[in-house]
Amino acid sequence: MDTLLDNLDVFTKGFGTTLVLFAWSAVFALILGTVVAAMRVAPVPIMRAVGTVYVNTVRNTPLTLVMMFFALGYPQLGLPKLDYVPLAIIALTLYTATYVAETLRSGINTVPLGQAEAARAIGLTFGQSLGQIILPQAIRAVVPPMFNVLIALLKNTTIAAGFSVMEAGAIRAFLSERGEPALVVLLWVAAVFVVLVMVLSLLQRYFEKKWRVA
């Protein structure tokens, strides 16, 4: 317990940054993933092709390489300079959005085809039928796998520690300089992650019950 209490400032800063990375990346990934999922089922071939290439390319690339590109390659492109935290958020967003898109696409495929045909029959456009009829049903069907994606995102934030971001994954290395036992520090970091995952699991159960189809 002394390891936690004596270094509460480090744990607070580390997990504070972790929550910032998670929150912003989750919001942007859900938005981008929804757009990509719509492209993947769009009636326009070029949109489907772009969505497919993006998903297959980024999803099959290790997150460490994606993070490394933004940490080391981005500054060489002559683009506006950004700190490591925004760059980590961009990397996590682009990577996680592919999983969000595929999860949503699987939910869209569970919606009976007749509903889309009925929407077209009453004059709704593709965007209207997707936003008003198909997506609301698809989201209800993919609550558990979508929260699994968010839990994976929470854990993936630790990779940012290897690129000068002071978050939960960097606590062990920082406290080792203070002479704290590494195993005890890692156990405390793991315990906090368990609590955060339990919170997400409780949210998952809440939305499952709220949106459950009788």
pLDDT at 177: 65
Q: What is the DSSP string of 163-210?
A: GT--SGGGHHHHHHTTT--HHHHHHHHHHHHHHHHHHHHHHHHHHHHH
pLDDT at 87: 87
pTM to 2 decimal places = 0.86
- Structural domains of the chain, with CATH: 16-167 (1.10.3720.10)
The residue behind tokens 């400032």 is 9
pLDDT at 96: 95
pLDDT at 56: 93
Cα separation, 167 vs 160, whole angstroms: 7
pLDDT at 174: 65
Q: What is the mean pLDDT of each run of 10 residues along the chain (214 residues)?
A: 67 83 94 92 89 92 88 77 85 94 89 78 80 83 90 88 66 68 79 90 86 62
pLDDT at 14: 80
